[in-house]
A = this chain, B = another copy of it.
Amino acid sequence: MPFAERLAGYQSRIEAVLDRWLPPADTEPNHLHGAIRYSVLGNGKRIRPLLVYASGEVFKAGADTLDGCACAVEMIHAYSLIHDDLPAMDDDDLRRGRPTCHKAYGEATAILAGDALQALAFQVLAEDPDISVPAEQRVRMINTLAVASGSRGMAGGQAIDLDAVGKTLSLEQLQTMHTYKTGRLIRASVELGALCSDKVDEERLHKISRYADCIGLAFQIHDDVLNIESDTEILGKPQGSDLAMNKPTYPNLLGLEETKMAARDLLDEALGHLSDFDENAEALRWIATYIVERDK
């Protein structure tokens, strides 16, 4: 099956899985459930679920087992976007070309929608009967996601990001911030995919974790590039908004051309970590390339 078709298959699959796990909008509390569905369903890139499925291909995991993990990582990601957009945080009015959750549903509901989504992510991992791995492995999945989401993961990265507004960061500090903010959840996505196999191959798990660290950073670097080069219509948020907020970025530190080169180098490094893997790693290779070539 051609690549684009396979990915589209996974994308419609994750859409259906999310739809199934999210509480119906006509169940109480309706307003909250409406806000959750509004924020999760629709036009996300679904990169993290794709990474779960792609990693699962490498480890020959069953698609039914992967569904729950793909769903959980996307819920964590979606909740983080809702909270990041809040007036007290990045104060964004637009997300994916639509009003942000707090613009559409109010600030209190947006906070609670994020909170409830985080809980739901862990519920899915703990409860999903289609995740057919030993309970010990399920516990490890939950731990992986929890660590990646917390104060030494995604939430911590956002805290460092907010502290950094208006400050000059070194390249190393900028990297630390991105590693926490985006990198940890991307790494958790491929690790969850690997943990969906019957027997965990620790050596290969280690390799795809390194792969994930590279593409996680490349993803953020490429976001910086897009923030300068794309227009608002494609990006779904105001172009140059990071610059306007005086946020530290790679182009600010390295210049645009060297930033693009850094993303390329990370892509090469990511692919290097997969060099021992066979054709079942094609999806992971494709996603790595997509991440530094996408236009939004």
Contact = CB atoms under 8 A, between A and B. Distances in A.
Given A23-B152, A135-B138, A151-B33, A146 B159 contact: no
A29 B120 contact: no
A134 B125 CA distance: 17
B23 A151 contact: yes
Interface string A15-44: 000000001000011011100100000000
Interface stretch (A81-89, A206-214, A232-240, A286-294): A81-89
A12 B192 CA distance: 37
Interface centre among A120, A134, A176 (most CB of B within 10 A): A120
A289 to B, nearest CB: 31
A145 B125 CA distance: 12
Interface in A67-83: 79-80, 83
A29 B111 contact: no
A151 B29 contact: yes
A19 to B, nearest CB: 15
Contact of A138 (B120, B139, B152): B139
Contacts of A36: 151
Nearest to A86: B111
Size class of the contact patch on chain A: 35 or more
B146 A112 contact: no
A209 B32 CA distance: 26
Interface string A85-122: 01011000000000000000011110110111011101
A180 to B, nearest CB: 8
Contact of A162 (B88, B108, B146): B108
A192 to B, nearest CB: 13
What 9 A-B pairs come out closest when comparing CB atoms? A135-B135, A119-B150, A88-B107, A123-B146, A126-B143, A116-B151, A32-B159, A116-B155, A119-B149
6 contacts: A29-B156, A108-B159, A112-B156, A115-B118, A115-B155, A135-B135
Given A29-B160, A118-B118, A120-B146, 10 more contacts: A83-B111, A86-B111, A88-B107, A88-B108, A108-B159, A108-B162, A119-B147, A126-B140, A138-B139, A139-B142
